[in-house]
Structure 1
């Protein structure tokens, strides 16, 4: 027979999720905003397969002989949409930096504004490979995580839905981006930790610590940005975002810091949960552990986590900017110019503010856990009497 409390908890989850998804549906279906001025209406995108290369004028790039450039006249079979099964033709312009040569059997994304009388080649069709990679990810998580793995996947899906269908519509409606990010951070943290571990002490400990430390990352990033005159306006997409904001209520300036909050969430949540879980397990094995002993153990566990998690954040942000950093390096840009580049400053703020939040999660989680798990007067270890 099921535990009544467990049944109530399950029912509460069902009601919450049903209500939340109903809200998301209404929120997104009623979202009304003016499209950007250069929005092209009536263009149709479909998937197609090359069935014949009718003619081609291809050859090596004069400066880089390992790159083939030129033109291809392709005959294509449309694979999706209302024009599925029909054939069409397109000229594929193969350029140095937009290099997508095709052969018979290659699957492409094509577009048209006149029912594929005139057809343009947009890109390779790559989604099938992404689906295979996603399936591999899901299989690995389920294989090694079993029930917890399934809950992890559900939590990840919930977070993605929050970002796509709550965070983005909120900022399009004109909500302050940092406030919208805070809503997503708190909601994602609560749902993820509750779904993985249920309502218990370690869940509450990790959730409170994660929320506090992630917010602190946002505060640090925002303060550093203000002092160093950095905002979303210093990013490469700023001009396009400003153009879009002309026709919407979008607030561009603080998008950078909202992104930092969301980016730091995963690493901080991982750190907080690891420490909370470790200390809870230790306390259950040895209930006589004192608050001081729990604090010491939590800090020792945290120090082991610290190096790998901070490296993860720094390397992730560095890796995303590797190409442009290599370009600046090869041009021997002086240090004083390099260290003050908008791109570099933005990435340093992202990486270091997230890393600071991860490090702070160690003492904050340990402090909360040692107090919450100790629960009263220190218990002294009982020594059995000698026989």
Structure 2
């Protein structure tokens, strides 16, 4: 009786499993193969020892600091008040970071204030964010925080060390992004057909983003070395492919927005499916267009916000606008925004089509032979 419906009902989930299971296995194997060994840190120049202190008084251009940790702990010392662009502003009671270099300037002060201590406020800020997520999200908030921890672990333990170890940055970024995607989406949203649809849509969009990025990096003749940080990294870590590093940043940056869009689309189709049989794809696509319109703005503003000092610098550049817009510094930002946007837009029809196929195959099961609407408790 139900045998005539079983094949179409299970076809799409089995197809998803046939794609995602090998992809997950390949991701795991690639992580094992690419897993970095011990990465040697670049030795810092011997400029002095680090110490901690508290400002007890300020008099003109000097300040009195009580050393609380490091060389000279428990003593008081006089330091010059920092001056110049970006110098820390001191007030009595500030906890500061000191550099102890008694022989740096003959006859000068042995300690120099280099920064403020921020451990306490940073911990309280992070704790407030965690409590806000848990208070509103409850169980889902807890799983989302666990997913965030997994993301940071993969980035810090695999992606960054593997790139520093000389592996291909694009390959490392794709493998790391895939690992984050599998772990975070299933951990946050559970093992279901809708989560698998979101995973498949995200994976397809990531591949498209990587291919577009590689093609346009070559077409624009970008070197990946556009600013001082890039130049310093290229000089000190000559084994890193800077063009590949640029592309890796595009792929990882796109992942954060892609999983949001694909999960939303899969959930939208699941909600619409019980009440909509004809025109399901069109109805879900209308939701996707509204979501992607705001997501594109989010993506571009995120890149613009991170590059705001660069944008201000270019705005005051005296060169003609055409030269500024086609220079490598701005071309990299345009590339990130444009390729990320195309991948984001493509994720909507891809994920929607997969979700609709799953919904229609489910409706072809034995319960679809009943007359009348589906009961509310049978909706998935």
Is TM > 0.5 for Structure 1 vs Structure 2? yes
For residues 55-97 of structure 1, give each alpha carbon's deviation from its aligned partner in whole angstroms, at most 9, with x where no partner exists: 433xxxxxxxxxxxxxx2432232x4x6595224253353230
Aligned: 1:99 with 2:90? no
CA contact (8 A) 1:51 1:77 kept: no
Aligned: 1:154 with 2:140? no
CA–CA separation in structure 1 for the residues paired with 2:125 and 2:134 = 14
Q: Which runs of 5+ in 2 are unaligned?
A: 1-27, 374-380
CA–CA separation in structure 2 for the residues paired with 1:368 and 1:204 = 10
1:127 maps to 119
Aligned: 1:35 with 2:42? yes
CA–CA separation in structure 2 for the residues paired with 1:114 and 1:99 = 21
CA–CA separation in structure 2 for the residues paired with 1:318 and 1:381 = 54
CA–CA separation in structure 1 for the residues paired with 2:362 and 2:193 = 15
Q: Which residue among 207, 218, 225 is the counterpart of 2:217?
A: 225
1:361 maps to 347
Q: 1:313 to 1:90 in 2, by over 3 A?
A: farther
Q: 1:200 to 1:320 in 2, by over 3 A?
A: same
Residues paired across the two proteins, number: 336
Aligned residue for 1:220, secondary structure, equals helix
For residues 174-207 of structure 1, give each alpha carbon's deviation from its aligned partner in whole angstroms, at most 9, with x where no partner exists: 1100011011110101111111122110111111
CA contact (8 A) 1:231 1:254 kept: no
CA contact (8 A) 2:217 2:243 kept: no
Q: Which runs of 5+ in 1 are unaligned?
A: 1-19, 58-71
Of structures 1 and 2, the one scoring higher in RCO (CA 8 A, sep 6+) is 2
Alignment of 1:133-282 (within 5 A): 133-246=125-238, 249-282=239-272
Aligned: 1:108 with 2:96? yes
CA contact (8 A) 2:170 2:245 kept: yes
For residues 327-380 of structure 1, give each alpha carbon's deviation from its aligned partner in whole angstroms, at most 9, with x where no partner exists: 332345422112112221111111111111111110000011111221177558
CA–CA separation in structure 2 for the residues paired with 1:150 and 1:376 = 31
CA contact (8 A) 2:51 2:67 kept: no
Alignment of 1:72-83 (within 5 A): 72-78=62-68, 80=69
What is the CA distance between 1:31 and its match in structure 2?
A: 0.7
Q: Which residue among 35, 54, 57 is the counterpart of 1:52?
A: 57
CA contact (8 A) 2:222 2:243 kept: no
CA contact (8 A) 2:202 2:258 kept: yes
Aligned residue for 1:226, secondary structure, equals helix
